[in-house]
Chains A and B, each alone.
Chain A
Amino acid sequence: MHKQVETIQNDFASSIQKCLDLETADKIRVDLLGKKGTVTELLKGMKDLSIEDKKIYGPLLNQLRDSINSQIEAKISQINKEIMNKQLLSEKSDFSLPSQKTKTGTLHPITQVIYEAESIFKELGFVVAEGPEVETDFYNFEALNFPHDHPSRDMHDTFYLDTKENHLLRTHTSNVQIHVMKKMAPPVKVIMPGKVFRSDSDVSHSPVFHQIEGLYVDKNVSFANLKATLQYFTQRFFLKDTNIRLRPSYFPFTEPSVEVDVQCVICGGKGCGVCKQTGWLEVLGAGMVDPNVLKNVNIDPEEYSGFAFGMGVERLAMLKYGIDNIKLYYDNHAYFLEQF
C-alpha cells in the first residue's frame, strides 16, 4: 500500500510538471480523482481494510487526495493566468502612435491673469466688481478729478461715441471706483478687472487693453497699507522675493500718486533688454484716493481714507508668459491660444 501511494505521488509529480494546458490538467484529475480514478478506487477499497490499517491508511490517502487536488487547482490557475497574459499581450498598443485626442479648450491668457490676480486679492479680502465700458464723462473723468480743459486729460486719448450724451469708451477701469462708491458706503475693498480703450495704436500700444483696478476705502487706510498690499500681490504673482520700488507720479484721482516697479523678473534686477538695463519693470500705478474723489461720492475725507491702484493685464501676462507682442493677444491665432 505504501508503495502504491508512493508510485502515485511520483507519477503525479512528473505529470503535473509536464502539464501545459487545461485539458491535460483535467485528464490528470479524472485519472486520479475521477469516479474511477486511481486514488478514488483506493479510497473505495478502504472499507475492506482492518481497523488498524484504516487508522494508518485513512489519513494517508485523504492527505494524498487533498494534496493532488490543490496542486491541480494551482496548476489550472497558473495556466489560466498564462492564457490571459498571452491574450493581453497580443492586444498591446504601440504607445508611440499619435494619440486620439479629446480636446479641451484653453482660457485666454488675459483671463488667466485676471483670475489669478483676483484670487490673490481675494486672499486679502477684496471682492470683485465690474462696471460699464461705455461711459459718461462724469464717471470716466469728472468724478475722478480730471477737470474740464485741464492738461491731465491729455494723458488719456479718448474714443468718443456719437450719442446724445456724448458717451465715451472708458479709458481706464477707474470708472468702476465711482460706481462702487456711489452704491456702497465705506468700508469697501474691491478689485475691478476689465477692458479699456485708448485711441492710440502702435507697436507697443493697442487701442483695446485690460486693466485690474483695486480700491480700499476705510477708516485709517494708509500709504503703508497700500505698499504692503502691492508687495503681497507682486510676491504672490511673480516670485516670492520680488521687491518693489515706488516713484512719484501723477494721477488726478490719487494723491500722493506713485508708479510701482517690480524687480525685473527676467534678470532678477541685474539689468537686461526687457528692463532696459534698469533692473526694474513698471507694472502699476497707485496712490491714496484724492480727497476730491471722496467728496464727489459723498464720503467725508476727514473720516475716511483709501488707496487705489491699477495695472495693465497685458503687461502682467507679458512678464508671466514672455509674450513679446501685444498684437498676439487680439489676433487669437489657434497656435497662440493652445499654448495657455
Chain B
Amino acid sequence: MLLPINWLKELVDIKEEVSHLAERLIEHSCEIDEIIDQKKKFDKVVVGEITKIDKHPDADKLVVCQITAGTNQYQIVTGATNVFVGAVIPVALDGADLPNGVLIKNSKLRGVDSNGMLCSEMELGLSDEAKGIMILTDKPKLGTPIAEYLKMNDQLLDVSITPNRGDLLSIRGLAREISAIFELPVKEIDISYTDKIKHDAPLEVINEATDLCARYMGVVIKGIKIAPSPEWMQNKLSKVNIKPINNIVDITNYVLYECGQPLHAFSYEKLADSTIVVRRAKNGETIQALNDQKVELTDKDLIIADKKVPVALAGIIGGMQSAIHDDTTDIVLEAASFNPSNVRKSSFLKGIRTEASQRFEKGVDFQNVEFSFKRAIKLILEICGGYVASDICDVFEKEPEVVELKLRPERVNSLLGTEIPKSDMISILTRLGFNVTNDLITVPSWRQAEVNREADIIEEIGRIYGYNNIELKLAPITNFEQPKDLSFFDMNKKIREFFTLQGNSEIVSYSMVSPDEHPAIMNKKPLVLKNPLTSYESVLRTNLFVSLIKNYDYNNRHLVADLNTFEVGKIYYSENDKVVEELHTGALFSSSPNKATTTKSQTNFSFLELKGICEEILTYLGIKQTKFFQNDIFEFLHPGNSSKASIGKDTLAVFGEVHPDITKFYGIKNKLFFIEIMPENIKKYISDKKKYKKFSLYPTVRRDLSFWIDKNVSFEQIVQTINKAKSPFLKDIVLVDIYDGKKYGDDKINFAVQLIFQDPEKTLEEETVNREFSKIVESVTKLDLIFG
C-alpha cells in the first residue's frame, strides 16, 4: 500500500524526515519496500516561455527556440510543430532524467546548439500519447519546477502489510499506528453532513443470512450528477495509482483508501420494489458481473439482491444490471461487513479477486462500517450534489462482543525475557488504542479481528517496546536428554563421505520430473501434481536414476563427459493408494572411481568394479551378510549386467550397467553405471556391535586350480562345491582370472582360482595341504569340468 506523506499529514502532525519515519515503521510495525520521491523523476524540468522562434539553417523540419525560464535563457532546437512565441511549456534541462527514460544533455542538432528539450505529456509520463509539446495554458510562474506545478512533489512510502495487520490498510489506520509510535494525537476525519430534506424514497433491507453478513448499511441519495471528481481528489487517487473514473466511483475508492472500508454504489432506479435482500444465492442463479463475466451462483455464495434478481456478489463485485451510468441520478450506497472466509471461498471459486474482496477476507471493523459510510455520504453530497432521500438502513443482529483480556505483566516479561514495568505496558497499549482498567484490556474495534489472545497482547507490547531493545539471554545449553536418532543424519553423512572419497560429486535435484522420460525409467506408480508449473515437472521421481541421468545429460550437452555423481534424496510413489516416501542414495559412474581422465580416453569401468563399490558401501555402513540376486527392480539397467543386494525380502541396493536403450535415448555414447542404495532397509540390519576375533599369524599356503566349465555355472556354485569338501584349513578362495577362450567350444569358460590354506594353531605341513587340496579337487570334479 502506498502512503503519501502529505495525505498522512492531514491526520498526524508528523515532522520527522521520511527516512526516519520509514525506519521507525520497520522497527515497530511493518516492512517498507521503498521510499518514493515523486520530485526525483521531474528533476531539472522547469516552466519556460518561448520568446523567439527561428528557422534552423540546415534542417527544414527543425526550429530554433529561445526560451526564458525565470532568470535563465536557453536555446533549444525542436521538431515540434505546435510551438509559438509566448507559449508556456515544460523545459527539460541538461541532466534531466525523464520518466520515459530519456536522458537530457546539452548537444548540437545539425550544427546548432540545443541546451535541453521541450516536453510533451508523454515524455513526462503523464499520458500514454501526446500531440506535440504540452502547453501550460494557466501560465504558471516561469522557472517553477514542474513537479511543483503538477503537484507531484510528495514523498510516498510503499508499505508492505502482513495478513494480520488488515487495520493498516488505510491512511487512517497507518495514521493511528504512526501516532502510537511517535506519541502524537490523530486528527479525526470529518463525517458530518446535512440531512434536512424530507425523505421521499422508500428503502428496505432484509438480511436473511446474518451468519454471513454481520452488518449492512444502505441509503438512497437522489439528485446527484455524475461528473469527473474534483482535481484534488483526482490528484490524490492518481498518486496512489488509482485511476480516476467519475465522482461516485472515485469517492468510494477514496473512502476505501482513506478509511479502509469497501463501499458499493448502485442504481436506485434499477432496484425492484425498493428492497435489498441479503441472502444466499439459489443454485443455478447467475449474475452478469461488472467485469463482464457471467457468474454461476450456488447456495454457498452470498449475494445482494432486490426482490427478483441478484445485484451484487456480496463483498466481491457488483452486477452490470444495476451499474451506475453517466445519466444516473439516484443511487443506493452500501457499506457492510461480510464473513471473511465466505468471501474468500466465493472469490476463490469464481476466480474474481477485487480490492474489496481482499479487504473483506481480512475482516473489516464493525464500527468503521458506519464511519466510512457517513464519510462517503458527506463527500457525495459535497461533490455530486443531491440529497439523502431515505432513512439510513442499518441492519445487524448485535454489536460484536467487546474483547476483554487480562494483563499479566509477569507473564509478558517471562515470555519476552524482559523487565518492562507494568506502567510502560499500559502506556504502550493505551497509545495503540487499547483501554486498560484494573488489568483488564479492552481491544479497540479496529484490532478485534486479530487481537483476541494474551499472545497477541504480548506481541503488541514487544514490538512497540522494540525487539531490538530486548537483551540477549542464551538458554542453558543442554540440560536434558534427547534421543539421538531423530534422523538419518549419521548414515547420510557416512554415505556422502564414502561417495566423495570414491570421486563422486554430490548433486541436488528437483523432486519433480517429466512423465515423458524413457518409459523404462518409471519403476513405480508415480505421484502426480495437480498444479504443476510446467508439464515437464509434473510427477515426482520414483528413483534417483532419473535425476542423475538427466544431470549427466545436461553436463554431457555442455561437453563434460567424464563425471561421477551421486545424490542423497527422497523418492516417492503410490502403492495400494498409500503414499510412500523413502530416502535413497543414487550414484552414477561414467568412469573408474578416483581416476580423473584428463587427456587419455575413458578408463574402463566394469560391472564387477561396481559390485565392489556396492559391497564396500554396505560393509562401510555396517552390513555383514548380503546376497546378490538378479535385478528385477530397475528395467533401465542392462538385464545381464545388473544385480541387487538383499537380505531376506529387503533390497539394500540395486546396481548395474545402464541399459543401452537409455543411454541411446539421451544421446550418450559411453557406458554408464548406476547404483541405488536404500538406507531405510539398510538401517534394519546395521549391527553396531563390534567384537574382536582372534586371528592367526601362521603362514598361509596357496594352491592354484584351473578348469574349463559350462558358462551357465555361476561362480557361486563353484564356491559352494569347493566348500562342500569341508576343509577345516581352507581360509579363502580367490578368483585369479576368467578366460573366455574357444578351446572347448563357445559354451565353456576357464576359471583360475587360488585356494588359500591356513592352520590357526600351527604351521601347515605340506602333506596336510596336499591332502586338503585333493579333497577339494575331488569335490569339484562332481561338476562337469575339464582341468587345465
Contact = CB atoms under 8 A, between A and B. Distances in A.
Same complex origin of A and B: yes
Interface of A: 98, 100-108, 110-111, 115, 118, 123-125, 127-130, 132-134, 147-152, 154-155, 159-165, 167, 169, 180, 184, 187-190, 195, 197, 199, 201, 207-208, 210, 216, 218, 220-225, 227-229, 231-232, 245-250, 255-259, 288, 290-291, 305, 329-335, 337-338
Interface in B490-520: 493, 496, 499-512
Contacts of B540: 134, 161
B739 interface: no
A104 B487 contact: no
Interface of B: 26-31, 162-165, 340-342, 344-345, 358, 361-362, 414-418, 453-456, 458-459, 462-463, 467-468, 470-480, 482-484, 486-489, 493, 496, 499-512, 527-533, 537, 540, 551, 554-555, 558, 560, 563-566, 568-570, 572, 574, 577, 579, 581, 594-596, 598
Nearest to A101: B596
**Residue in B474, B508, B572 with the greatest tally of chain A CB atoms within 10 Å:** B508
A184 B456 CA distance: 27
Contacts of A124: 474-475, 477
Contacts of A108: 505-508
Contact of A225 (B459, B467, B474, B568): B474
Nearest to A291: B455
Contacts of B484: 127
Given A107-B506, A224-B473, A334-B560, A199 B527 contact: no
B442 to A, nearest CB: 20
A223 B470 contact: yes
A216 B475 CA distance: 10
Contacts of B503: 102-105
B163 A184 contact: no
A250 B163 contact: yes
Given A101-B598, A208-B510, A248-B28, A334 B505 contact: yes
B500 A228 contact: no
Contacts of B508: 108, 110-111, 210, 329-330, 332
21 contacts: A101-B596, A104-B503, A105-B506, A106-B506, A124-B474, A149-B344, A150-B340, A159-B531, A160-B531, A162-B528, A162-B530, A201-B533, A208-B510, A208-B511, A210-B508, A222-B473, A232-B474, A249-B31, A329-B508, A332-B551, A337-B565
B416 A223 contact: yes
B496 A224 contact: no
A332 B414 contact: no
Contacts of A98: 598
A246 B164 CA distance: 18
B449 to A, nearest CB: 11
B324 to A, nearest CB: 30
B36 to A, nearest CB: 14
B636 to A, nearest CB: 20
Interface SS of chain B: mixed
Contacts, number: 262
Nearest to A260: B467
A246 B596 contact: no
A111 B507 CA distance: 9
Nearest to B559: A334
A227 B472 contact: yes
Contacts of A221: 475
Minimum-distance CB pairs A-B, first 6? A224-B417, A222-B417, A250-B162, A149-B341, A125-B478, A129-B486
A246 B468 contact: yes
Contacts of B471: 224
A225 B473 contact: yes
**Residue in B486, B572, B574 with the greatest tally of chain A CB atoms within 10 Å:** B486
B765 to A, nearest CB: 44
B475 A105 contact: no
Contact of A162 (B27, B162, B415, B529): B529
Given A105-B564, A332-B551, A207 B510 contact: yes
Given A102-B596, A149-B341, A227 B505 contact: no
A77 B238 CA distance: 100
Contacts of A224: 416-418, 470-473
Given A105-B564, A187-B479, 18 more contacts: A100-B598, A101-B596, A104-B501, A106-B500, A129-B487, A148-B341, A151-B344, A151-B362, A159-B529, A162-B528, A162-B530, A163-B527, A195-B511, A248-B27, A248-B30, A248-B463, A255-B456, A338-B505
Contact of B414 (A154, A222, A291, A335): A222
B529 to A, nearest CB: 5
Given A106-B505, A248-B28, A256-B463, A150 B341 contact: yes
Contacts of A150: 163, 340-341, 344
A127 B482 contact: yes
A27 B595 CA distance: 53
Nearest to B570: A133
A130 B531 contact: no
B417 A223 contact: yes
Contacts of B558: 333-334
Given A224-B417, A255-B459, A199 B531 contact: yes
**Residue in B462, B558, B565 with the greatest tally of chain A CB atoms within 10 Å:** B462
B500 A246 contact: no
A132 B500 CA distance: 26
B527 A107 contact: no
